Amino acid sequence: MLINLKPLYKIKWLEHLFISVLVLFAIILLKQKPSVWGDEYLGGLDYLGVSHFSTFFSYILSYGPHAPPLYFLIQYLLCGKFGMSIETFRWVVIFFNLITVNFVYLIARHFLPRKYAIGVIALFILSPILLWNSASLRYHSIAYMLAMLSLYFFFKYFITPQKVSGYAVIVQIGINILLVLSHTIFVWLIGFEIFLLTLKVLKRQYIYLVPAFLNLIIFGITLFYLAYILRGNKYLSLPFQPTLLEIFEKIFGVQDFEVPVYVSWGVFLQPFFVPYPIPPLIQKICDVAPTVITKVGGLTLAFVLLLSFIYTSYQIIKNYRSFSESLIAIFILAFIPPLVFACYSFIANTDLLLVRYVLPCYIAKLCFLFIILYKWNPKNNFYKQIIIGLIVFWALHQYFLFRVNKIYTDWEGCVQYVNSNLTENDVVICNTDIDTAIFKYNWKAKIQKPFPLIFTSDSLDTATDFITFLVKNLPPSKKIFFIYNTKWNYQVESTINHFWNKHGLQYTFCGFPSWEGLLCYIFSVDENLKVENNNTGELEESSMQPSDDLLISLLRSNLNKEFDEQEKRILSRYENFGAELGLTTPIHLTLNLLSVDKKEWARIITKHFQNLNAWVAFSYALSEQEDLQKAEEIFQQIKKQNPYFFHIFLPIWRAFKTKDYRALKEDSLRLIKDGYFPAYLFYHFATHKVDNIPCILPLGIFPFTTDSEDKLRYILLKEPNTSNNKIIENRYEEIIQLRNIRNKS
């Protein structure tokens, strides 16, 4: 019996299976295994146990009021209600990416033959933007999937056919509603679709009035919401400081500037030279060549697309009817939104040219690049093959660099390192509130042990105070761990090392280099007690003369007076404040200054930054306690900035304003049980007011579990340790004086 088999390459589902397998291989072959990091944690991982989605979502919106609900609803249902682990949920995110790539292929097939469409998705699969979001616990992946679905559906059912069905209108409206519920920034894609539908209406194709009108309703409501929530918030505002060359590449190129891919070729060659180092000349080539290839390749492709943009624009103006509506649509999508966003970025000083915001344009440019290659017919086809080969090499080069460039913060490695060196009653300090919360979360997820004694610090200066205090008071067998997040500043390590050396502290060190690198220092109490150091001149001078940083300059310009000796000692603990201004640091600093009766300082600082976001505005309200009417007005204004933040902190505010510290403690404890980490600051503040127990911690230190300070109180030595280190001895005397100032206040 003869069976007429359809050639395998014509079976469409095999094409999609092949593409999905390619994507999975590209993702699985990445060496990095992300542990939970900053943006993921703020996405509600510690709130998954709350009883209602409304509570869960309101906590997330208190950080970023633009956060859409669709992704978080899926996460809450699967992880919070059905018990799916975070590691398993990463595969749900990967599944969204598989669907996204398949829709990219379908869009490319709308314009290109099969082999050229495969070229488009090959470049997309190998691009950092896909790989970066491949397993990231953020809402970008589902937004990309719906954006590509909306674009594919729009091309297939609204641009290509001569008439549109009611079924297509209903489905497309549903997709676009889900799209803005997955990421509000993609409302611009709906605007693009409205523009093309309007062009059809102007051609007297009035059947397109209905989808244009319905999309306009979605567009208008979303813009109204964005305008409302962004009035006093800058969560979507990234600093716009690129070079002109970078702007050119962002508009016309296909390179992702947000995700770093620059690493040395030395990581590939080093195994061939072990145990010897790579020769200097070869190492220099290995360091420079990746940057040159990536930049030259990116600029070349951008230049080709620029020439194509100019030529195609001229041809469209010259003979509009010779172009299909689909080709004009993909041309507009590829180049016009990036140009518009570039203009807006210059006006508003806000970077909207990130690939994550304009992914459909990125895909359209890839399609247009291969349309150019498809239509190019040189006399010798070998030249076309060479060009395509170079483009593929450029993309593969980016992929292999990305593959060895760990861009996720290695919190799992850090907590494992701490665990391997930790003994009972050792102390862990993190440099910011959010880092302390993330460490605590990863410890809970990865280490099957009780939490260590965890504290958070305002800055390096206050952390040094606490380390010095612990060296003097902990039993000699104990250790102190300090974890610092470099925040993309790889040069900070030498600065911190110098800082410890200047203050006479001995330490061991382990770094966890990644995009947001972590530095972990271990201070042995016994080793620091034994070290002799008599050089105190430099330290005494620096502690008495605060540097002219952001905070101190701000106070000087507003107070118009010289600081006394006590004020200088307090100010010297905040030399690093300017670099640490974040989501919760203003509240941290405000409560700290209020505790030493420096209300005017807190008021000056928070008033200066109040328009940054709701967190600083709330800090400003806290600092205006002497004028309760004004403080209430400031707090009520927060409702306009972030209504979700307002309702969460309303009980906290009422208790703080009426000085009902028992209610403040209870409300803080309720938020702590829900996993809302800033509540620890208010719990600590209220506990000492209610229990009337003096705070044993140095200025600028807060405990990050409800019992950390109590446990520490019981393990401290009754008499301070004696040390031959004069720097430690002198600083300890200052710490005791500052602590007495706070306890007296």
* pLDDT, tens digit (0-9, with 9 covering 90-100), for 7-18: 545 667 788 888
CA dist., res. 198 & res. 284, Å (int): 56
**What's this model's pTM, rounded to 2 decimal places?**
0.88
Q: Give the chain's end-to-end CA distance (angstroms, integer).
A: 97
Given a cut of 90, whether residue 77 has pLDDT beyond it is yes
Residues 672/706, Cβ–Cβ less than 8 Å: yes
CB atoms within 10 A of CB 2: 4
**Whole-number Å distance between alpha carbons of 627 and 625:** 5
Higher pLDDT, 505 or 559: 505
What is each CA distance from 37 to 168, 515, 517, in whole angstroms? 41, 11, 11
**pLDDT one-digit tens code per residue, 403-460:** 887 778 889 999 999 999 999 889 999 988 889 999 999 999 889 888 899 999 878 8
The DSSP code for 157 is: I
Q: Give yes or no for a contact between 66 and 60, defined as CB atoms under 8 angstroms apart.
A: no
Compute the distance between CA of residue 272 and CA of residue 276 in angstroms, rounded to an integer.
9
* Strand ranges (E), 458-575: 479-485, 508-512, 518-524
- d(CA 109, CA 547) in angstroms, rounded, equals 62
**Cα-atom radius of gyration of the chain, to the nearest Å?**
29
3 state SS of 376? coil
**HSE, side-chain direction, 13 A CA sphere, residue 498:** 6
Say if residues 211 and 172 touch (Cβ distance below 8 Å): yes
Cβ neighbours, 10 Å, residue 557: 10
pLDDT digits (tens, 9 = 90+) for 527-577: 998 887 655 544 444 443 434 466 777 787 888 777 877 787 777 777 655
* Helix 244-252 with 280-318: angle, nearest 10 deg: 60
Go through the chain and tell me how many residues it has: 745
CA pair distance 302, 362, nearest whole angstrom: 12
**Is residue 234's pLDDT more than 60?**
no
d(CA 70, CA 638): 25
Residue 301, token pair as written in the block = 């492709």
SS3 of residue 701 by DSSP: strand
Angle at 183 between CA 678 and CA 119, to 5 degrees: 125
Q: Is the pLDDT of residue 386 over 60?
A: yes
Residue whose tokens read 């570039």: 342
Identity of the highest mean pLDDT range in 172-181, 487-496, 557-566, 623-632: 172-181
As beta bridge partners, residue 134 has: none
Cis peptide upstream of residue 275 (ω within 30 degrees of 0) = yes
Residue 702, Ramachandran bin (φ over 0: left; ψ between -120 and 50: alpha; else beta)? beta
Residue 231 and residue 314 in contact, taking contact as beta carbons nearer than 8 Å: no
